[in-house]
Chains A and B, each alone.
Chain A
Amino acid sequence: MSPEQFASTGAALKWLLGLAWLLPLAGFCIEVLGGYWTDRRSRAPAWLAVGCIGGGFVLSTIAFVTWGSATHWGAFAVVDDHHGDAHARGQSPDAAPAAVTGAQAPAAPAEHGHPHDGPPHGHDAAHASSPYAFALSGSFYNLATFGGLSIDIDYYIDSLTIVMFMMVTLIATCIHLFAMGYMSDELTDNYEDHEVHLPGGRHFHRPGRYYRFFSYLSLFCFAMLGLVLAGNIFQVFVFWELVGVCSYLLIGFYVERKSASTAANKAFVMNRVGDFGFLIGLMILWTWFGTFRFANTDPAQPGAPGLFQMVRDADGHIHEHGAGLDRAVVLNDGLGGAAVDAASGQPRSIPFWLLIAAGLGIFAGCIGKSAQFPLQTWLPDAMEGPTPVSALVHSATMVAAGVYLAGRFYPMFVPEVLLVIAYIGCITLFIGATIAIVVTDIKRVLAYSTISQLGYMMLALGVGGWFAGLFHLITHAFFKSLMFLASGSVIHGCHHVQDMQEMGGLRRKMPITAWAMLVGVIAIAGLAIPTPWMAIAFSGYHSKDAILATSLAFMSQNRQHFLLFLLPLATAGITAFYMFRLWFMTFSGKPRNQHVYDHAHESPWIMLGPLVILSVFAAVCAVGGEGGPLARMLFASEPTQAVAGAAVAGTVAVNLPGHALIHEYHTTAGIAALLAALTGAVLSYVFYGAGLVNPATIRSQLSGLHSFLIEKWEFDALYDAMFVRPVHVVARWAQGFDQKYLDGFLHATGRAVVWISKWDRKFDETVVDRAVNVVGDATYAAGASLRRLQTGRLRQYVMFIAFGVLGLFLLMFAFLPR
C-alpha cells in the first residue's frame, strides 16, 4: 500500500471500527440510567442495546468490505488451492522436513525462509516481502509521553481484527436478542427471587433489573471490542481489566445471591492473579523495548518499529547471540538493521531469558482470562450469572480473549514459551473434559467443555498451529454460544431447572431447541461424513482437525512430547461422549421428572430466532475448511514464522512444524479424530441414548474416581488451603503487628515519657522547689525582721535620714581620693 492509500484506508477503518467500538459505550451510558428515563417494564433499554451492537455489526461489515477493497482482496487471492492434495503431496515431503528436523543450526536463519523448493503458498510470498501487508496501525490519542516513551490508545487492524469484530458483534447481537426473551421476567416492579431465602422462610422481592442487565452487556461489548481493536499491549491490558470487571458485574448480576457475589469475586481475583503475571510481562517489555505497540505498519513512519518488528525481522527470524544466561536477542530497528541505543550507541538487545519471562508473564494473563490450568476454577462458578452472560462472556468472547491475545502476541513468543503454552493447554483440555463427564448441571457441562476447548486452542498455538488455534476460536465461539443459548432455552422452558437429572424427553416439548443443540453437539464433537474430495461436516470438525493435524505434526518432530497429541486425541473422544450425554439426558428418553416435563414449553421466537441464526453459522462458518473464506481471512494475518515452522536447538530442543508438514499429517489426524469422536458418540448412545448400560453401575464401581471428578480434581479445596487461608492469617499478623508492636512501642514511649515527667515533677518539688523555697524563706525572714523598722512615725524616719546622710558623708571623706 502506498502511504496515501494507507492513510485513507487507515482513517476509514479507524472511524468505522472506532464507532463500532464506542457505540455500545454510548448505549451503556444511556441504559444504565434506564431506571430514570423509563419504567421497569419497558424494553426500550434492550432495544437500544441491540441497536448499538447491531450497528456495530453493520459497521464491522462495512469495515470488512473497505479493508478488502483497499487490499484488492489480497487476503483471498493469495491462498490458491492451499488444501489441494496433489499440490501438498507433491511438494512438501522432500522440502519440509529439512526445515524442521533441526538439521540447520539456528545461526543460519536465512534458509528458514524457504521451506519449500516448489511453488510456495501464495501468502508465504506475501509475508516474506512484507509481513504486515494487510495490517493498518495508528493512534487514537495520547495518554502520556515521557521523553522518548509514549503510551497511547492505538488501533491495529488486520484480517484477524476484522474477523474478531464481525464474530463478536454478530454473536453479541444474537445474544442480546435472546436475552430480551430470557430476561423478560425481570420486566416487573416486583421480582421474586426463589433462590434467596430470607429468615422466616420468605422469598426475596425486588424491582426488576432488565435495563441494568442490558447496560452491563453493552459495557462488556465496548470493552471486548476495545480489546480486539487495541494497537498496543498496554491497551490490551486496559480492556483486559475492563472485560474482567464486566464479567464481575454480570456474574454477580443477582447481587442478593451470596453464591453469585462470591463467584464474581473469585472470578475477578483469580483473573488478577493472572494479571499480576501480565503486569510483570508488561514491565519487562516496557523496560527493554520502550514501546508497547504491536507493530507500526505506517509506511509514512519508517524506523519507529513496534514490538514484533523489533524482535523479528521481515522473515520472522529472531537474531540472537551468546549462550546460556548471556544469550541475547538483538533488536531490529524496523528498517532492516539493528536498533541502536541513542545514548550509548550500542546495539540494543534483550537477554533471552527475559524474553521468555516476558512471554510467560503475558501468557499468565491469558491463563487467567481463558481459565487455563491452574487458574481454571473460576469459570464453572461463573455460571452463576444469567445464561446469556455465560454464552457471550464466558464462552464466545471474553474467555477466548486469552487465546486471541496469545495469537496476537505470537511473534513475541519464543519456542520455550510455546512449549509451556502447549502443555498448559494440554493439561487443561484433559482436566476440563474429564470433569464434564460427571457434571449434571447443564450449564456446568458446557462450562467445563469451554475450558477444555480453550485448552485445545492454547495447545494449537503452543505446537505452532497459529491458524488452527484461532480457527477453532471462531468456530467454537459460534457453536458454544449456540449451545449455551440452547441450554438457556431449556432452562427458561423448564422454569429455571438446570439439573439434567430432572430433564429428559424434552425433544418433544421443545423441538427447535433440541435440533439447534444437536447442531452444536455435532459441531463440537467433530463428526463428519468423509468423502474422497472433502469432508461434509460442521465447523468444529474443520478446526479440531486442524489442531490435531498440527499436534500430530509436532509429535512427529518431537517424539518426547507425544502426550501433546495423544491426550487431545483421547479428549476428542471424551468430548463427543459428554456432549452427546448432555443431549441424550436432556432431550431424549423418558422424562425423569414428570412435573418439570409437564410444565416445560418451547421458548418464544425472540429466543429461537438467534438459535437458528447461530445454528446456521455453527454449521457453515468454516465451510471449505482450510480453503474457505474464514480460513483465508485468518491466514492473511498469520505471523511469518508460523508459516514456515522453525527448528530450535536452545535450552529445550523444539521443532515447530510449518504448513507443509502439518499438511502432510492432515489426513491421518483427521481419520484418527473422527474415529475417536465416533467412539465417544457411540459409547454415549450406549449409556445414555439407548440405555443399554446403566451409568450408575459404572459410577458405583469407580466411586473414588467419580468423587474426585465431582470435586473438580480438588482444586478448590487445595487453593483454599494453600492461598485463601494463609492470606487471612498474614492479614491478621499485619493487623496484630500494628497494634502490638508499632502502637505498643508508641504507647510504651508514651508511658516512659509520663514516667519521666513524674520523676521530673518530683525532682522539681524536692530539689528545685526546695532551693527556691529556701531562698524565698530567707528573703521572707529578712523582710519580716526588717518590718520592725517600719514604724510609721515620721520623727523616727527623719532621724534615720539624718544619721544616714551623716554616715554617707563620713564614708565619702574617709574613702574618696583627694
Chain B
Amino acid sequence: MNNDLALLSWTIFLPTAAAAVLGVGFRDENPNSIRAMRWFTAGVTFVTMILSFLIYQRFDPAQAGMQLVSVKSWIPSWNVEYRLGVDGISMPLILLTTVITFLSALASWSITRQVRGYMILFLLLETGMLGVFMALDFFLFYVFWEVMLLPMYFLIGIWGGPRREYAAIKFFLYTLAGGVLMLIAMLMFYFNSGNNFNLVELAEMARAGTVFSREMQIIAFVLLFIGFAIKLPSFPFHTWLPDAHVEAPTPISMILAGVLLKMGGYGILRIAMPLCPYGTQVAAYALVAIGAFSIIYGAFAALAQTDFKRLVAYSSVSHMGYVLIGMAVWKIGEGGELIGRDYWNMGINGAMFQMLAHGVSSAGMFFMVGVVYDRVHHRDLNQFGGLMQKMPLYSGFAIVLFFAGLGLPGLCGFIGEVFVVLSSWNYSPLLAIIAASGVILTAAYILWTIQRVYLGPEYRGPHPEALSEMNEREFSVAFTLSALAVVLGIVPNTMFRLMENTTDQLTRTMQQGYEATREEPAVELSLTQESPFPALPNR
C-alpha cells in the first residue's frame, strides 16, 4: 500500500520537483542552457510517462473498483484527506495525459522566450492534470483543478499570440466560473453527507439513495454539469475554446485539446454522475440533446473558419459532443427500470474512447498546424496550398491525423464516434439521427481543409522559402501520434479492456441509486444545515 502511495505521488509530483530544480538549477538563458532545459523537461515528462506505465502494470483490469488506493491524513479538522486511486475510468486518461504531455514537451522547442518560466509552468501543469485524474477526495480534486488553471493562464497569457491577454482572461474567467459552481456543489455534498469529501463514499451514499434528496441531486448536478461542460466544452459554453487555442502556443494547444478538455468528461463521469444519479437521469435528455447540437453546431462553425487553428478548435467542440451523448444515453422505462443496459455501457465506453481518440487526433492536428506555423508564421487557410509538394512526409502524417479526426475506420476517431452513435438509437432515435448526420459535415470541413492546405500545385502564402520538411524531433511526435491513431483504431479492445468493468459497475450503481432515490419521499432542500455524523437524510 505504501508502495502505491509512493508511486502515485511520485507520478503526480515528479514534475513539480523538476520544476523546482529548473527554478534553482538553471540560471542564465544562453543557448546551451536553453537546450539543456528543453531536454531536461522532456526527460522529466518521459520519466513521468514511464511511471504511469508502472501504474498501468499494477492495474488489474478485471477489478471494477478503485485500485492502488493510498490515503494520508491532510486536514483532519475538515475531514480532508490526501486520497489517491485509479480505476478503469481514470487509468486510460492518465496514460493519455503523460503521453500527450511528453509529446508536447518535445513540441516545445518552438518556445524561445523566457524558456525557464515556460518550462516550470509546463511541469506544474502536468502535476495539476495528473492530480485531477487521481484524486479521490473532492477537496483534493478541487485543489488540483485550480492548480492546473493557473499555469494555463500564464502559458497562454505570456507565450501566446497577439490577442493573448484577451484569450487568457477569457479562459481563466470561464474556468473559474465553472470552478465556483463546482465549489458550491462540493459544499452541498460536504454538509449533506456529514462532512465527507471522500468521492467513493459519497458515491456509495448516492447509491444507497437515502442521503441526497432528489431536489439536491438535481441542483448539484446542474451546477456540476455546467462546471464541467465549460471545460468539455459544449455549446453554449464553448466560446473560450477557439480564442484560447488560436492564441496558445502549439504545445499548449496540444495539451489543451488533448488533455484539458477530457477533464470535463472525466469530471462528469467521476463526480457529477455517480454522486447525483437521480439528477443525471432527470437531465439525461438535455445532455444528449446538447451533445447532438454541439456536434452539428461545431461542425457548421468549423466550416466557416478561415483560421486553421480556429477550425481545429471548432472541430473539438463537434467531437466532444459525442462524449456528452455517450455518457447520457440512460434509458429508463416508466417504472424506472433500466432499458438496454448494454447500450448504455456501450455509450459510456464509446464516450471514454472518444475522449482518448480525440486526445490523440486533435493533439495531432494542432501539432500539425504548429509545424507549418513555425515555418511560415500564418494560419490563413486561404493562403496555403501545395504543401504536399514541398513537405510530402509531413503532409502524409497530417492527412492520417485529419482522417482520424474525420472518423475514418481503422483510425481512432471512428470507434468512439460510431459506438456512441450506435448506442444512442436505443435512447432517442431522433437525437441519434441528428448526431449521425454530423458525419457528412465533418467530412466536408476536413476534406475542404485538406484541399486548401495540402493539395494544389503551389503554396500561395508568404515565406515559401521556409517550407522545409519536418526534422527528426517533429517526425517522432507526428509518427507517435499517427501510430497511436492507427493502433487505437484497429485494436480498440486495448482500451475497452481497461474500462469495461468499471463502467459496468458505474451503470449498475447509478441505476440502483436512481431507483432508491426515486422511492424516497420528498424532503426539503437544505444547503447549509449540518447533519450529524454518520450521515442521515435531512428531513
Contacts and interface: CB of A to CB of B under 8 A. Distances in A.
Interface of A: 32, 35, 141-149, 193, 196, 198, 204, 206, 237-239, 241-242, 245, 248, 252, 255-258, 261-262, 264-265, 268-269, 272-273, 275-276, 279-280, 282-284, 286-287, 290, 727-728, 730-735, 738, 742-743, 746
A237 B439 CA distance: 13
B188 interface: no
Nearest to B443: A272
8 contacts: A32-B396, A141-B491, A144-B349, A204-B458, A248-B447, A265-B447, A735-B305, A738-B239
Given A144-B496, A283-B422, A734-B301, A276 B440 contact: yes
B412 to A, nearest CB: 13
B361 to A, nearest CB: 15
A283 B389 contact: no
B300 A261 contact: no
Contact of A738 (B301, B345, B396, B408): B301
Given A35-B392, A272-B439, A283 B421 contact: yes
A738 B432 CA distance: 25
A149 B454 contact: no
Contacts of B302: 731
Contacts of A146: 342-343, 345-346, 349, 500
A381 to B, nearest CB: 14
Contacts of A196: 457
B411 to A, nearest CB: 10
Contacts of B455: 252, 255-256, 261
B425 A286 contact: yes
B504 interface: yes
Nearest to A196: B457
A255 B453 CA distance: 11
B194 interface: no
Given A35-B392, A279-B418, A738-B301, A147 B236 contact: no
Interface string B336-356: 000011110110010000000
B212 interface: no
A279 B433 CA distance: 9
Contacts of B433: 280
The interface centre, meaning the residue of A141, A145, A204, A264 with most chain B CB atoms within 10 A of its CB, is A145
A268 B343 contact: no
Interface string B195-221: 000000000000000000000000000
Interface string B139-182: 00000000000000000000000000000001000000000000
Contacts of B441: 727
B439 A275 contact: yes
B65 interface: no
A742 B496 CA distance: 37
Contacts of B421: 279, 283
Contact of A731 (B239, B300, B409, B439): B300
B386 interface: yes
A734 B317 CA distance: 12
Given A148-B342, A728-B304, A287 B410 contact: no
A130 B514 CA distance: 48
Interface residues of B, number: 61
A32 B395 CA distance: 13
Interface in B383-427: 386, 388-389, 392, 396, 403, 408-410, 414-415, 418-419, 421-422, 424-426
Given A147-B341, A258-B456, A283 B301 contact: no
The interface centre, meaning the residue of A145, A237, A731 with most chain B CB atoms within 10 A of its CB, is A731
Nearest to A150: B342
The interface centre, meaning the residue of A237, A273, A734, A746 with most chain B CB atoms within 10 A of its CB, is A734
B303 A743 contact: no
B461 interface: no
Given A265-B448, A742-B239, A732 B492 contact: no
Q: A interface, by DSSP: helix, strand, loop or mixed?
A: helix
Given A204-B457, A256-B457, A273 B440 contact: yes
Nearest to A149: B342
B297 interface: yes
A746 B173 CA distance: 10
A241 B426 CA distance: 24
B169 to A, nearest CB: 9
Given A256-B389, A282-B422, A286-B425, A242 B409 contact: yes
Contacts of A262: 451
A198 B389 CA distance: 14
A269 B443 contact: yes
Interface in B286-317: 297, 300-305
A269 B440 contact: yes
A670 B303 CA distance: 53
Contact of A743 (B239, B439, B492): B239
A256 B455 CA distance: 6
B437 interface: yes
B369 interface: no
A730 B305 CA distance: 12
B439 A198 contact: no
Contacts of A148: 342
Query: Which are the 7 A-B pairs with shortest beta-carbon distances?
Result: A283-B425, A731-B303, A256-B457, A735-B304, A147-B342, A731-B304, A238-B409
A440 to B, nearest CB: 27
A731 B492 CA distance: 33
Given A283-B421, A283-B422, A143 B451 contact: no
Nearest to B425: A283
Given A148-B342, A272-B439, A237 B409 contact: yes
Nearest to B303: A731
A206 B389 contact: yes
A146 B422 CA distance: 13
B436 interface: yes
Contact of B300 (A143, A256, A734): A734
B457 A198 contact: yes
A287 B343 contact: yes
Contacts of A206: 389
Contacts of B439: 272, 275-276, 279
Given A193-B457, A261-B451, A730-B300, 20 more contacts: A142-B493, A144-B419, A144-B492, A145-B496, A146-B343, A146-B500, A149-B342, A149-B343, A198-B457, A238-B410, A245-B408, A252-B455, A256-B456, A276-B439, A280-B432, A280-B436, A283-B421, A283-B425, A286-B425, A727-B441
Given A238-B410, A252-B455, A282-B422, A144 B493 contact: yes
Contact of B410 (A242, A272, A280): A242
Given A198-B458, A204-B457, A283 B343 contact: no
Contact of B425 (A32, A141, A265, A287): A287
B444 interface: yes
A530 B387 CA distance: 60
A186 to B, nearest CB: 15
A275 B440 CA distance: 8
Contacts of A238: 409-410, 414
A196 B170 CA distance: 46
A628 B9 CA distance: 74
Interface string B232-268: 0000101100100000000000000000000000000
A719 to B, nearest CB: 13
The interface centre, meaning the residue of A32, A238, A242 with most chain B CB atoms within 10 A of its CB, is A238
Contacts of B426: 287
B346 A149 contact: yes
A248 B342 CA distance: 36
Nearest to A724: B444
B232 to A, nearest CB: 15
Contacts of A733: 300
A142 B491 CA distance: 8
B236 A735 contact: no
B496 A276 contact: no
Contacts of A734: 297, 300-301, 303-304
A459 B349 CA distance: 41
A205 to B, nearest CB: 10
